[in-house]
Amino acid sequence: MAIVLPNYWWGILLLAFSSGCTDQMSADLPPPAPTLVVNSILTPDSAFQVQVSRVSRATDSASRLLSSARVQLLTPGQGTQPSRCR
C-alpha cells in the first residue's frame, strides 16, 4: 500500500528535515605555524604542475594559494633546474 500525501505535505516534510540547529563556539587556538605545502603529481615523460599553498586558520579569508612561488627541481648528480609555478 503506497502512502499518498497532498502536495503541500511534501513541502512541509522537506522543510522539517532540511532545517538544522547550529551552535557557535569560540576557541582561543594558537595560530598555525607558518608552513608551505607543495602539491604535485609527477609522472615520467609528461608535463606537470606544482601548486604551492600556505597553512592558515580556518577563519582566514585570504587566499591560501601562492601564485608566484619559485620551485626548484633537484636531479641527483645534475644540480638544480629552476622552474616557475603557474
Q: For residue 7, what are the CA distances in angstroms to 3, 4, 10, 13? A: 12, 9, 6, 10
Please check the confidence at residue 84 and state whether its pLDDT lies above 50: no
Q: Which residues contact 5 (CB under 8 A, 6 or more apart)?
A: 13
| Domain-embedded: residue 58 | yes
Structural domain span for residue 80:
34-86
The answer to pTM > 0.85 is no
Residue 14 within any structural domain of the chain: no
Flag whether pLDDT at 7 surpasses 80: no
Kindly state whether residue 11 falls inside one of the protein's structural domains.
Answer: no
pLDDT-derived band at 80, boundaries 50, 70, 90 = low
d(CA 15, CA 7): 13
**C-alpha cell recorded at residue 22:** 547550529
Give yes or no for residue 73 having a pLDDT over 60: yes
Domain count of the fold of the chain: 1
Whether 55 is in a domain gets the answer yes
**What tens digit of pLDDT does each residue of 46-71 get?**
888 888 998 887 777 778 888 888 88
